[in-house]
Amino acid sequence: MSGAEPEALGRAAAKAPGRPTVRPMGARALLAEVDSDEQVAALLGDLMQRQHQGLLGPDVELVPAARTVLVDGLTDARERSTLTAWLGAWEPHSAQAGTGPLVEIPTVYDGEDLAEVARLWGVPPEEAVRRHAACSFRVAFCGFAPGFAYLTGLPDEFAVPRRATPRTRVPAGSVALAGAYTGVYPGPSPGGWQLIGRTAVRLWDTDRTPAAMLTPGTRVRFVPVAPTPGAKGEAT
């Protein structure tokens, strides 16, 4: 750093062992970084509770991601300093896995990349399906597109790379893997995830509240079903 640069500029606040790292995100937001997706879920839950208790403004938005929770819409320095102090004292814990609502997603496991995923896992495709459907998933966060949920629950050793060349069009309802995440494409879009199956469930509907079926904290299971005759292709 050059000597002319103010010392605190963009630096993370000093991190107590095991406590969140608090990073500035401009004047109205901050980013709290923790060590695992379980801790993200726990921190998000605790922050939502603080908001319910009126300790965070009603218009503050909480946006969880892989290792962070964004707190956006802070109105003044006092709210920021109170929150920073609270985060500095936050005890890392894991969210209780069984607390969110449970959604079952009927899935036809016939994705174009199923064979490749099975090869990466070193098992036959039927076994890959059995393993995926046996997992309990939880929505860690949403992003990429409205209603696109990043689901955790697949063991780390099942992580798969994204496709070297993304597809220009992935059909709505595609069930796909990237890293250790599972996702379901809410609408047709380009995408680089490995497609393992498809569902007819409508994940995104702006006439519904909430519009997204899979919101952070929701528990998810994929239930293998046989393809409906004549329903091959886009599942909407």
Partner 1 sequence: MTEGQERLRARRVFEVLRPGPLTTVQDAGRRGVAALGVPRAGALDGPAYRWANALVGNDSSGAAGGSAPGTAVGAASGAAVLEATTGNLALRAVGGDAWIAVTGAPAPVRVDGRPVAWCAPVRVRAGEVLEVGAVTAGVRCYVAVDGGFEVAPVLGSRSADLLAGLGPAPLSAGMRLPLGAPGTLGALGPGSAERSPLAGPPAELVLRLTPGPRRDWFEPESLAALGRARYRVSPASNRVGLRLADGPPLRRREGLGELPSEGMVLGAVQVPPDGMPVVFLADHPTTGGYPVVGVVPEADLAAAAQAAPGTPVRLLPTARLDV
Binding of residue 12 to partner 1 (CB under 8 A)? yes
Rounded to whole angstroms, the Cα distance separating 194 from 167 reads 10
Tokens of 214: 């899979």
Residues within window 103-122 making contact with partner 1, judged by CB under 8 A: none
Which amino acid is it at 112?
A: E
Task: Select 65 or 105, whichever has its Cβ closest to partner 1.
Answer: 65
Could you tell me the sign of the dihedral formed by the alpha carbons of 192, 197, 202, 203, in that order? negative
Neighbours of 201 (CB within 10 A): 18
- Where does this chain touch partner 1 (CB under 8 A) — which range of 88-96, 114-122, 205-213, 219-227? 205-213
Kindly state whether residue 234 participates in binding partner 1, applying the rule CB under 8 A. no
Q: Please name every residue paired with 229 in a beta bridge, in sequence order, or none if there are none.
A: none
- Nearest approach in angstroms of CB 227 to partner 1 is 28
Residue 197 has φ and ψ, to the nearest 5°, of -170, -165
Matching residue, tokens 């498809």: 198
> Are residues 181 and 192 in contact, defined by beta-carbon separation less than 8 angstroms?
no
In the complex, the smallest distance separating the C-beta of residue 53 from partner 1, rounded to whole angstroms, is 11
Task: List binders of partner 1 among 121-180 (CB under 8 A).
Answer: 141-148, 150
Closer residue to partner 1 (CB): 32 or 105: 32
Q: Which is nearer to partner 1, 60 or 195 (CB)?
A: 60
Site for partner 1, residues 17 to 76, rule: CB under 8 A: 23-29, 31, 33, 48, 51-52, 58-70, 72
| Residue 6 in the binding site for partner 1 (CB under 8 A) | yes
Residue whose structure tokens are 């909480």: 62
Residues in CB range of 223: below 8 A, 6 or more apart: 104, 105, 106, 107, 133
Q: Which of 171, 211, 224, 225 binds partner 1 (CB under 8 A)?
A: 211
Residues 67-106 interacting with partner 1 (rule: CB under 8 A): 67-70, 72, 77, 80
The DSSP bridge pattern shows strands 102-107 and 219-224 to be parallel
Could you list the residues that contact partner 1 (CB under 8 A)? 1-2, 4-6, 8-12, 23-29, 31, 33, 48, 51-52, 58-70, 72, 77, 80, 141-148, 150, 187, 206, 209-212, 215-216
